Amino acid sequence: MKTPLLVVDEVSKNFGEIEALSQISIELNKGEIVGLVGGNGAGKTTLLRLLCGVYRPSQGTVRFVDDGENHPVDEVRGRLGVVPESTGLYSRLTAWENIRYHTRIHGRDDKKSWARTVRFANALDIENELHRPTRGFSRGMRQKIALIRAIAHGPDLLLLDEPTAGLDVTSARKVRDLVRQLGDDGGTVIYSTHMLSEAQRICDRIIILHNGTVRADGSPDELLEQTSMDDLEDAYIELTSDVARSEPVEDISKLSGILTRIFSRSNNQFQGVEEE
């Protein structure tokens, strides 16, 4: 029996006169790895920001479900792990210090956080880099550290925005293997990607977004049945045959202010440390 964890109910999101998302309704269940697939401008990143409470819907609701109780998602951010487009690492801190900073914000014990960090670093083959400052790290290395930072505190739901972007083939496979292991261990993952083949490899379920709307939601086999196709790529083309719109322009200055309020603390011991 499926147990709902996050419910998106008739959600729309506008940026001025532009409707980035239109009447989105999705139920995300515990233990699923769900792929969000779509091209540029489809609405994937906007939806992820709604799911983690960075944005508020223009219409509709996003609810986190805990033992049958509904909670606004912005009240349970500590139960989420997020890997955004920009890793946001503090360049003068070591990889471990970046991770520890976030686990302490979530009230986690350093010893337990370190044990989880080492386990995930071993899986990604970067255990020898944990005590190096992140200044000079490649994009792929920063992406791996951001992934560990997102899961070191043991979140109930992990939101990944293009997690293999900038990674070489071997590193990308290690990331996918780790995500798959998290799913096998009962974790819940939302995996945003523009690569259908990647979603097909690791996701139990695929949600196809196009022009701000849900075009399909189901397992790969269900998507093939829905479109009467034999190949998932052909099914995707069939479902998104109308011309893709331009990417909506979002208020970046407003977003930066929101992120600052979310992650800043009055006793921030790292004030003045530059961020990349």
- 116 in a structural domain: yes
Give the number of other CB atoms < 10 A from CB of residue 11.
24
Mean pLDDT comparison of 1-5, 64-68, 156-160, 197-201, highest-scoring range: 156-160
- 179 in a structural domain: yes
Q: Could you tell me which residues are beta bridge partners of residue 11?
A: 24
Q: How many domains does the chain have?
A: 1
pLDDT (tens digit, 9 = 90+) per residue, 184-199? 888 999 999 988 889 9
What CATH number has the domain bearing residue 255? 3.40.50.300
> Is the pLDDT reported for residue 54 higher than 60?
yes
Position 78 scores a pLDDT of 87
Position 87 scores a pLDDT of 86
- 254 in a structural domain: yes
- 274 in a structural domain: no
Position 250 scores a pLDDT of 52
Contacts of 160 (CB under 8 A, 6+ apart): 83, 147, 150, 179, 189, 190, 191, 192
pLDDT (tens digit, 9 = 90+) per residue, 18-41? 999 999 999 999 999 999 999 888
- 234 in a structural domain: yes
List the strands of the sheet with 59-66, edge to edge: 18-29, 4-15, 59-66, 69-72
CB 62 within 8 A of CB 10: no
Give the number of other CB atoms < 10 A from CB of residue 170.
8
- 151 in a structural domain: yes
- 28 in a structural domain: yes
Instruction: State which residues form the domain around 177.
Output: 4-263
Average pLDDT over residues 108-133: 95
Q: How many angstroms separate the CA atoms of 56 and 204, rounded?
A: 28
Could you tell me what percent of the chain has a pLDDT over 90? 67
Could you tell me what percent of the chain has a pLDDT over 70? 88
Length of the chain: 276
Would residue 211 be called left, alpha or beta, if left means φ above 0 and alpha means ψ between -120 and 50 degrees? Answer: left
- 86 in a structural domain: yes
Q: What's this model's pTM, rounded to 2 decimal places?
A: 0.84
